[in-house]
Structure 1
Amino acid sequence: MNNDALLVRQLGPADRDAYFQLRLRGLKAHPESFGQSYEDALAKGAAQHDAMLQISRAAEGDFLLGAYVSAETSLIGVVGLKRHQRDKERHKAALVGMYVAPEAAGRGVGRALLNELLARASRIDGLRQIQLVVTSRNEAARGLYESLGFRKYGCEVAALNIDGVFHDADLMARFM
């Protein structure tokens, strides 16, 4: 896949079903990589993402990005930014929902999504820090985040319980 041909754009209301289907794939294939379970996502339905899909919220720091091989192809990767809402924390946002479909893995899709997210985040008034949580054993994701300037500042022991198996999570941040 040629990264120059890769299309990364903000997702809107019309992308809801495609986004939800790709998210469900990620939740099912990699439950240790998401705070939400597949069952919880199904129960809440696609409408749970409506607020993040509102184009008008992007300037405030809430948006979802999608990656495509071209405008005519299906969604192959997603990532979101969600800004903290409390006054004392509005300088921070969380990177959420990062997922690249297995058929597109290892082709620079994740890096392209993150580069676009960071470029957009740099233009958000008052935003100074992006935080994320990544499973401690996910070395590929952690390496990608580190290559883009994220640094580990802590570890949450037993952050996720998946069928009785506990997974630690690294807390990472990047200052703008």
Structure 2
Amino acid sequence: MRIGELGSEHARAFQELRLAALRECPSAFASSYEEEHDTPIAVVAERLVAKPDRCVLGAWLGSDLVGMVGLRREQARKLSHKAFIWGMYVAPAVRRRGTGGRLLAHALARAASMPG
């Protein structure tokens, strides 16, 4: 399994996994499947462009995206030492194999490397 930052080139795989997550676990996310299923792929691609204060990480098993987690640093000056995790999901077929823990470990390492 490989963990790494997702970029705009991963938009289609991310959108497919995100929609699967919203269908399977609707109460776990602020967004709904209905809100996101018609989102143009160009918009999804733009959301995946990493910036110094945010990124989306993915877990790959071969060529399949099987897990994801978003990380965003707080913008308010007094809170800029904090970051939060969003959109964490691991596909059912690879759960209980440490995928979620590896995603979170990478997210924590990325948060620690953020400027500020």
Taking structure 2 as the reference length, the TM-score comes to: 0.90
Instruction: State the distance in 1 between where 2:41 and 2:21 align.
Output: 14
| RMSD of aligned alpha carbons | 1.6
| Equivalences for residues 35-114 of structure 1 within 5 A | 35-55=30-50, 57=51, 60-70=52-62, 73-114=63-104
Identical aligned pairs, as a percentage?
38
Shift of 1:69: 2.0
Q: Could you list the runs of 5+ residues in structure 2 that have no partner in the other structure?
A: none
What displacement does 1:125 show? 2.1
Give the TM-score, by structure 1 length. 0.61
By percentage of residues, which structure has more strand? Answer: 1
Q: Secondary structure at the match of 1:107?
A: coil
Could you tell me how far apart the structure 2 residues matched to 1:104 and 1:89 are? 35
Contact 1:52 1:62 in 2 (8 A): no
- Contact 2:10/2:45, CA 8 A, preserved across alignment: no
Relative distance call for 1:75 and 1:91 in structure 2 (3 A) is same
- Aligned residue pair count: 116
Distance 1:85 1:112, change over 3 A: same
Report the structure number with the largest CA radius of gyration: 1
> Larger % of helix: which?
2
Once residues 106 and 33 of structure 1 are traced to their aligned partners in structure 2, the CA distance between those partners, rounded to angstroms, is 18
Secondary structure at the aligned position of 2:37 is classed as: helix
Quick one: higher RCO (CA 8 Å, sep 6+), 1 or 2? 2
